[in-house]
Amino acid sequence: MNEILTAPAAAVDIDAYLDRGAFYAERHVPEPMGQAHWHDHVELNLLLAGGMTYLFNGTRISIGENRVHLFWAAVPHQVIAVEATADLICVYLPFADFLALPVADAFKSSVMDGRFATVAAPDPIDPLLFQRWAAEWPDGSELRQQILREEVGLRVKRLSLDAVAPGTSAGDALAHGTEELEEPRLRSAAPRAIARVQAMTDHINAHFGEAVAVEAVAAAGGLHPTNAMAVFKRVLGVTIAQYIRRQRLSRAMMMLVDTDQSIAEIAFGCGYGSLSQFYVEFQRHCHSTPRQYRLRFRR
């Protein structure tokens, strides 16, 4: 059932399509990364063989064979250890595609909050599905590629029902709250609502270092502020204010890893009103100081 259909592909330069925010599925032999990187996708990983370890959000996370793992790749992540036998398939789902999926708010929020999701036990069908996606995507017809994207979306929807954090049991839900106590409601967002939310997130991403007014965000989506807040929450599962805080924090994390700017420069450059506010927010989400976080990625 878990037979490997093709030999592992050579390592590829993924920057070209990651920078475009495009969908992609590929198979390669992973290697330790010299530095952390990030891109605006929701990434699905499946190891057909071997094991590997990420430094993700400042925490070491090890993944093993034949189990789907999912995370928001806008959070800095770095492969720091790989077994010689490792054979990896990666699926890069554009963030906009993730927004369009009718998954429970608690799951969507947990992913955007920088949590790593997996399943409690391997599903025998996953290795075959992932191998087919990696084999068919690069040269598939437009119709076949559309079907493939729909299959990936369905797999994420199923994962949203079963997701746990790495190292936990089946009884430990990924996201805590009332939704884990009952069957989550899966709601589809209309294409027009998704387009409006994309316009609003684009505005936030371009101005996160400034004082971002809800009125300006709403105007970017062509909506009254009250309607904008409702549409944003319905599509993303988080409020506009929560999204702004998450983007500021994500950018600060990236800059701590990728630049030599002082912590104060990063805090004010990411829109924090004071250094103390930045420290409180950072420690609440990352459970470390900004300096400790920076050192983890530079050892």
- 51 closest CA partner among 39, 61, 36, 38: 61
Query: Do 112 and 101 contact (CB within 8 A), yes or no?
Result: no
Confidence band, pLDDT 50/70/90 cuts, at residue 20: low
pLDDT at 9: 47
Query: Do 22 and 1 contact (CB within 8 A), yes or no?
Result: no
Query: Do 8 and 84 contact (CB within 8 A), yes or no?
Result: no
The lowest-confidence range among 2-16, 109-123, 203-217, 278-292 is 2-16
59 by DSSP, 3-state: which?
strand
78 by DSSP, 3-state: which?
strand
Output the CA angle 298-92-112, nearest 5 degrees: 65
The lowest-confidence range among 6-15, 88-97, 139-148 is 6-15
Query: Do 81 and 53 contact (CB within 8 A), yes or no?
Result: yes
Q: Which domains does the chain have, with CATH numbers?
A: 15-179 (2.60.120.280), 191-297 (1.10.10.60)
pLDDT at 242: 86
DSSP E strands: which ranges in 95-159? 117-118
Q: What is the pLDDT of residues 28-53, one digit of tens each?
A: 999 998 877 888 899 999 999 999 99
For 26, the enclosing helix (H) or strand (E) is strand 24-28
Confidence band, pLDDT 50/70/90 cuts, at residue 4: very low
- Whole-number Cα distances in Å, 266 to 2, 248, 251, 260, 262: 47, 10, 9, 10, 6
**Mean pLDDT, to the nearest integer, of 219-231?**
93
Q: What is the mean pLDDT of the chain?
A: 83
**Mean pLDDT, to the nearest integer, of 180-197?**
63
Backbone angles phi and psi of 104, in degrees to 5 = -60, 145
Task: Give the whole-number percent of the chain exceeding pLDDT 70.
Answer: 85
Q: What is the pLDDT of residues 78-93, one digit of tens each?
A: 899 999 999 999 999 9
- Whole-number Cα distances in Å, 183 to 127, 161, 186: 27, 8, 9
Query: Do 29 and 74 contact (CB within 8 A), yes or no?
Result: no
Query: Do 160 and 109 contact (CB within 8 A), yes or no?
Result: no
Q: What is the pLDDT of residues 173-185, one digit of tens each?
A: 564 433 443 444 4
pLDDT at 93: 94
Q: Is pLDDT at 167 greater than 80 in this prediction? A: no
Q: Is pLDDT at 16 greater than 90 in this prediction? A: no
Residues 6+ apart with CB under 8 A from 251: 208, 209, 270
Q: Is the pTM of this model over 0.75?
A: no
